[in-house]
Copies of this chain bind each other. A is one copy, B any other.
């Protein structure tokens, strides 16, 4: 098995040598004289778990800046969907490649995607060295032939990377996929042993429409039809009441919080207090580049941590002065961005520990935004940007090095 030695890397309070064997961390305190197939000089760099992006539409990087500053329905129906209708498979490949380059430079090693032409994105992921869950997108307006070819694709699927890519069944949302098809998707995913990926309770309108059409709210509706379970990854969940949070938590659903998208589209503020109180598993996601407009998980952590503090229940007349400055501290949002996403997809990573998958990033301790180092995680969540990322590991391999990276 190949070995990689990170020499003089800063981890957990001091400098040490970290040995990777195959695709896992083998020793977090190797001897000074340890040998390896590859030795990387990591002095001045700190090792952190890499990011797992819980919700993307990867190739939407092509639409970055194409339509901004307008509400969700106008944005979607009048701008995004007409543009998307013209995209070719080659476009999807170029858009996926652009986002993968951005993700690598920012320390993201996994993304959970919902888009079109999955073969193209799979090709890009395979050659990049990253991990991904690639959604087989289902919408009612897809033809029977399209549906059949999706089923064939899933039946014949074999991960070309031997473990880095999984498929997911991705019914778009309750307002674009009918009840019968949602049930079919759940059955299909469970037969195939795949996860389910869906947009859920993103806007007030979705909730109001669901109440009118199904006589109940989106989470209760999905629960009633047997959709929810520990294999479900639900993006957004902005408009969810306390009882619904308990349903999501008790079914083992992973909720993917996408603060930038929710803010930019005016969808609303994620109910941090209730989500945290319910104990539900939370992951962090960037959503697509048209509502964000990047796939920068570091920035996403800061948005979540600050939005949580800004306007809280406590400000609604309950406390005279302050918001909730102690809500969603750096350590918790970092956990969402790393362990939360990994756990949701059964990836044995998300933390730096012996025996765990060697997915990690190395940040410069000398970058101005990382100095001084009273608290490494605080600097990473609240101060840094991607200039600090000097090296990224995925599955035990170096998948990114900054131009100024030092490697022996």
Which residues in A have some Cβ–Cβ distance to B below 8 Å?
61-66, 68-73, 75, 98-99, 101-102, 105, 203-205, 208, 260, 262-269, 289, 292-294, 296, 299, 302-303, 305-307, 309-312, 315, 320-330, 368-369, 371-376, 378-379, 382-387, 403-404
Q: Which residue of B lies closest to A375 (CB)?
A: B65
Say whether, besides A62-B372, A65-B378, A324 and B266 are in contact (CB < 8 Å): yes
Say whether, besides A309-B263, A310-B268, A383 and B329 are in contact (CB < 8 Å): no
Report 25 cross-chain contacts, Cβ distance below 8 Å, ordered by A residue: A61-B372, A64-B371, A64-B374, A65-B382, A66-B374, A68-B329, A69-B326, A69-B329, A70-B325, A203-B321, A260-B302, A265-B309, A265-B325, A266-B309, A266-B322, A268-B323, A289-B383, A292-B383, A293-B379, A294-B383, A294-B385, A299-B299, A307-B310, A385-B386, A387-B387
Contacts of A302 in B (CB 8 A): 260, 299
Q: Which residue of B lies closest to A203 (CB)?
A: B321
Q: Which of B61, B289, B306, B369 contacts A102 (CB 8 A)?
A: B369
Asked if B68 contacts A378 (CB within 8 A), the reply is yes
Q: Which residue of B lies closest to A103 (CB)?
A: B368
Contacts of A310 in B (CB 8 A): 262-263, 266, 268-269, 307
Question: Shortest beta-carbon distance, A63 to chain B, in Å?
Answer: 8
Contacts of A328 in B (CB 8 A): 69
Question: Shortest beta-carbon distance, A318 to chain B, in Å?
Answer: 12
Question: Shortest beta-carbon distance, A42 to chain B, in Å?
Answer: 19
Question: Shortest beta-carbon distance, A9 to chain B, in Å?
Answer: 20
Contacts of A75 in B (CB 8 A): 325
Q: Which of B105, B204, B324, B383 contacts A321 (CB 8 A)?
A: B204
